[in-house]
Chain A
């Protein structure tokens, strides 16, 4: 599966080139537009600091006390039947509920297990490939005053489950379970 890694590495630089060339051909003040858009990134990264501090501290207490290991040991035999590392379970549970909380868990898993480990890559893929169902649900339906949500919750959560299973299978196939 070396070619997948090659595509991954080539894609971003090529997209960057394409956007820049397209902007130039359309006679856009590229550099000024870049600077203007970039400013938004500063406020965005500052605004997530409290979310990450809160979540990472809670996770670290949970982990350092030994409570996380306890639960992981408890669930390991069950999840190992499906080749799922138990460490990933808290992330899978929180991903549809809160995006920033999941971001905290993802970075925690990456820092503890290493970015190039199986768990690290799996966490990264899960974080990147699914979205916060409850956030989308509350914000989108809330903003326009939809009260009866019907099957929307079920559909969203089932799609998340499929996404997480897909992430596990794809990461196992591409990188192996090291």
Chain B
């Protein structure tokens, strides 16, 4: 899908430039934006290095584990089909903690592990289980505490207060997480009412 959007934007742009007579601007923009993209990545490096370094401390000191323990009772309620001491629960919690602190790369393997365990709980079937949909829903609403990359971009473009979007982001992400759980529940009850589980 991205492939089509990407090619589509470029081709439509060029065709539009032919009709519109904006080929000069397209040429200029082309090379300028390539340079800009590289500059942007270098800008991102500063904050990524700092944040990932800091998160390594949080990981090594057991802070992330401790936080997942704190959230266990709440998250447990969202997954009624997962026994509280099942390894799936541990992976779900660590995945959520990693997402919370913006450790996307650490979150992915943990999420896959969680899915493996959930599949086992579901008898190894290749169809999706209720808990899997809930886990996916929570994951896509991405509860983030610090949106590091976004802050870095705002810094690169000289925002007066690059971090002033942090709290609004947390609120928006919290609303979407609650909504994700509600939507998930709604579809679950719709399925059970129709007799297909």
Among A8, A61, A133, A143, residue most surrounded by chain B Cβ atoms (within 10 Å): A61
A14-22, A72-80, A81-89: which lies at the interface: A14-22
Assess whether B70 is interfacial by the CB under 8 Å rule: no
Q: How many residues on the B side are at the interface (Cβ–Cβ under 8 A)? A: 101
Q: Mark contacts of A129-144 with chain B using CB atoms, 8 A cut-off: 1 yes-contact digit, 0 otherwise.
A: 1111110110111011
- Tell me, rounded to whole Å, the shortest Cβ–Cβ distance linking A31 to chain B: 9
Residues of chain B with a CB closer than 8 A to A97's CB? 1-2, 5
Q: Of all chain A residues, which has the CB nearest B165?
A: A124
Question: Are A12 and B33 in contact, with the CB atoms below 8 A?
Answer: no
Question: Are B5 and A101 in contact, with the CB atoms below 8 A?
Answer: yes
Question: Are B40 and A107 in contact, with the CB atoms below 8 A?
Answer: yes
Q: Mark contacts of B111-132 with chain A using CB atoms, 8 A cut-off: 1 yes-contact digit, 0 otherwise.
A: 1100110010000001110001
Measured CA separation A12–B155 after assembly (Å): 15
Q: Mark contacts of B21-47 with chain A using CB atoms, 8 A cut-off: 1 yes-contact digit, 0 otherwise.
A: 010011011101110111011101100
Question: Are B30 and A136 in contact, with the CB atoms below 8 A?
Answer: no
- Tell me, rounded to whole Å, the shortest Cβ–Cβ distance linking A127 to chain B: 5
Measured CA separation A130–B49 after assembly (Å): 23
Assess whether B166 is interfacial by the CB under 8 Å rule: yes
- The answer, among B22, B154, B165, for a CB contact under 8 Å with A64, is B22
Question: Are A30 and B167 in contact, with the CB atoms below 8 A?
Answer: no
Residues of chain B with a CB closer than 8 A to A92's CB? none
Measured CA separation A36–B53 after assembly (Å): 7
Interface size class of A (residues with CB under 8 A): 35 or more
Q: Mark contacts of B41-75 with chain A using CB atoms, 8 A cut-off: 1 yes-contact digit, 0 otherwise.
A: 11011001111111111111111000000000000
Q: Of all chain A residues, which has the CB nearest B62?
A: A26
Q: Which of B111-162 contact A (CB under 8 A)?
A: 111-112, 115-116, 119, 126-128, 132-133, 135-137, 139-142, 144-147, 149-150, 153-154, 156-162
Measured CA separation A39–B166 after assembly (Å): 25
Question: Are B13 and A133 in contact, with the CB atoms below 8 A?
Answer: no
Question: Are B112 and A143 in contact, with the CB atoms below 8 A?
Answer: yes
Question: Are B38 and A49 in contact, with the CB atoms below 8 A?
Answer: yes
Q: Of all chain A residues, which has the CB nearest B135?
A: A140
Question: Are B115 and A67 in contact, with the CB atoms below 8 A?
Answer: no
- Tell me, rounded to whole Å, the shortest Cβ–Cβ distance linking A129 to chain B: 4
Question: Are A114 and B176 in contact, with the CB atoms below 8 A?
Answer: no
Question: Are A57 and B34 in contact, with the CB atoms below 8 A?
Answer: yes
Residues of chain A with a CB closer than 8 A to B30's CB? 57, 60-61, 64
Q: A33-B53, A159-B137, A167-B172 are in contact. List 7 more A-B contacts (CB 8 A).
A: A42-B48, A44-B105, A63-B13, A121-B168, A151-B188, A159-B177, A166-B176
Chain A residues proximal to chain B, CB less than 8 Å: 4-5, 7-9, 11-12, 15-16, 19-20, 22-23, 26, 28, 30, 33-42, 44-46, 48-49, 52-67, 70, 94, 96-98, 101, 103-104, 106-108, 110-111, 114-116, 120-121, 124-134, 136-137, 139-141, 143-152, 154-156, 158-160, 162-163, 166-167, 170-171, 174-175
A-B contact pairs, 9 of them (CB 8 A): A8-B163, A8-B167, A15-B146, A33-B53, A38-B53, A57-B34, A136-B111, A139-B111, A162-B183
